[in-house]
């Protein structure tokens, strides 16, 4: 299938591009390289451009007859979205609108959208199903919720079919060390802990130790990036086989506490690093996990890396590779 991957030079997008290439798809990556890298595009053609540039999009869609669009390009840092909301509504919401205009004009039949559990906000439940009301509590979650709605509404008015995947906490790296999270100033727990191991950070903080969980720290559902990538490839196959549009959670359905994650990083690396326990952050629910019944039933998706030791092991291995890569050649 001829596919466009926006944000395909970034962390998650690059893992998906590699798997799409292995599956035999014909790939064009469109990325502005603001947080992505040329070296991360291991299949297909890279076109450097920005979704804010409608003329560049029109040129791209005119030159290729895309059968599917996988849309990853977005800003994803929650605290930044609170401080700079218009950046998020521009890059996430408006740029999705720009992309959808091109999808509509050129009658692209399939779309896979990268969404997030942040659309649920602060639900009372700890295991989340897709039919819960959406109540995001920050501009990042709101920007993604709006994008979801635009895709659904365009699909209702046209021949577009979609799969929207709501990610939980994505972590880990390609087990062969080919790809990993190279995002500057990443805020993800496992990435931050791995940076403490390599000495890029002197230590880290745990926000809140008085939650109603097994050790007082927040529980999150960590999913290996290769399992998440596999869901995107399967989503394309599902739609090509006539599958109906769906919104699906993508997580393992079980979680680990912040302390448990830090302990595994310290044990696996053999490195102790300072951890400061501090007060809760606003907007952090005690526990969030995916009910993944729907994606298992609909796509037949089964995880291959559902193991915290494996996730952390691949993340630590990548961090060492990334340190060497940065010193020799950043791009």
**Model pLDDT, residue 252:** 95
Q: Specify which of 9-23, 161-175, 195-209, 277-291 reaches the highest per-range mean pLDDT.
A: 9-23
329 pLDDT band, cuts 50/70/90, is: low
Q: Taking all residues of the chain, what is their mean pLDDT, rounded to a whole number?
A: 91
| 162 tagged catalytic | no
Whether 331 shows a pLDDT value over 60: the answer reads: no
> Which pLDDT score is estimated for 169?
86
The predicted structure's pLDDT at residue 177: 60
**pLDDT score, position 319:** 77
Q: What is the pTM of this model?
A: 0.93
What is the predicted pLDDT for the residue at 185? Answer: 59
Range 189-220+253-289+305-328 classified under CATH 3.90.25.10: yes
* 167 has pLDDT over 80: yes
pLDDT of residue 291: 96
Burial class (CB within 10 angstroms; exposed 0-12, middle 13-18, buried 19+) of 244: exposed
The pLDDT of residue 41: 95
Q: In this model, does residue 186 exceed pLDDT 70?
A: no
Residues 6+ apart with CB under 8 A from 248: 130, 163, 164, 165, 166, 231, 292, 294, 295, 298, 299
Higher pLDDT, 11 or 235: 235
Q: Where are the beta strands (DSSP E) in 184-283?
A: 204-207, 219-220, 222-224, 246-250, 256-257, 275-278
Residue 272 C-alpha from the chain's centroid: 29
Domain boundaries, the chain: 2-171+223-250, 189-220+253-289+305-328
Q: What percent of the chain has pLDDT over 70?
A: 95
Q: What is the mean pLDDT of residues 254-273?
A: 92
At residue 80 the predicted structure's pLDDT band, cuts being 50, 70 and 90, is: confident
Give me the torsion for CA of 149, 303, 21, 143, rounded to 10°.
20
Q: Of 140, 222, 252, 305, which is the active-site residue? A: 140
pLDDT of residue 142: 95
Structure confidence at residue 201 as a pLDDT band (50, 70, 90)? confident
Residues 229-257 have a mean pLDDT of: 96
Class of domain 2-171+223-250: alpha beta
pLDDT in tens, 111-135: 999 999 999 998 889 999 999 999 9
pLDDT of 173 above 90: no
Confidence of residue 233 (pLDDT cuts 50, 70, 90): very high
> Which pLDDT score, from 0 to 100, does residue 188 have?
75
**Which H/E stretch holds residue 299?**
helix 293-299
Minimal CA–CA distance to 2: which of 57, 54, 60, 59?
60
Q: Residues 302-328: pLDDT tens digits? A: 999 988 999 989 988 887 787 777 777
| 285 touches 206 (CB < 8 A) | no
């Amino acid at each position: 299938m001829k596919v466009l991957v926006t944000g395909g030079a970034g962390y998650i997008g690059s893992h998906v591009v590699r798997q799409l290439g292995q599956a035999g798809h014909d790939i064009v990556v469109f990325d502005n390289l603001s947080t992505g890298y040329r070296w991360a595009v291991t299949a297909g053609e890279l076109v450097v451009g920005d979704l804010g540039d409608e003329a560049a999009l029109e040129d791209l869609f005119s030159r290729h007859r895309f059968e599917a669009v996988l849309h990853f390009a977005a800003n994803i840092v929650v605290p930044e979205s609170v401080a700079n909301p218009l950046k998020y509504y521009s890059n996430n919401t408006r740029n999705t609108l720009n992309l959808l205009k091109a999808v509509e004009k050129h009658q692209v039949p399939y779309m896979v959208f990268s969404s997030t559990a942040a659309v649920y906000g602060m639900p009372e439940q700890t295991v989340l199903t897709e039919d819960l009301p959406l109540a995001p509590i920050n501009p990042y979650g709101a920007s993604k919720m709006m994008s979801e709605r635009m895709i659904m509404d365009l699909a209702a008015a046209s021949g577009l079919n979609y799969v929207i995947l709501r990610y939980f906490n994505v972590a880990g790296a390609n087990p062969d060390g080919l790809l990993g999270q190279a995002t500057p100033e990443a805020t993800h727990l496992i990435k931050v802990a791995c940076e403490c191991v390599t000495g890029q950070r002197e230590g880290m903080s745990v926000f809140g130790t008085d939650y109603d969980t097994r050790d007082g720290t927040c529980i999150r559902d960590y999913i290996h990036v290769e399992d998440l990538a596999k869901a995107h490839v399967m989503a394309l196959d599902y739609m090509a086989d006539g599958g109906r549009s769906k919104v699906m959670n993508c997580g393992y359905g079980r979680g680990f506490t912040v302390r448990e994650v830090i302990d595994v990083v310290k044990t696996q690396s053999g490195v102790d690093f300072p951890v400061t326990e501090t007060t809760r952050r606003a907007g952090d629910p005690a526990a969030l996990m995916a009910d993944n019944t729907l994606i298992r039933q609909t796509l037949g998706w089964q995880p291959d890396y559902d193991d915290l030791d494996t996730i952390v092991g691949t993340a630590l291995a990548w961090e060492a590779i990334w340190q060497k890569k940065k010193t020799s050649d950043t791009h």
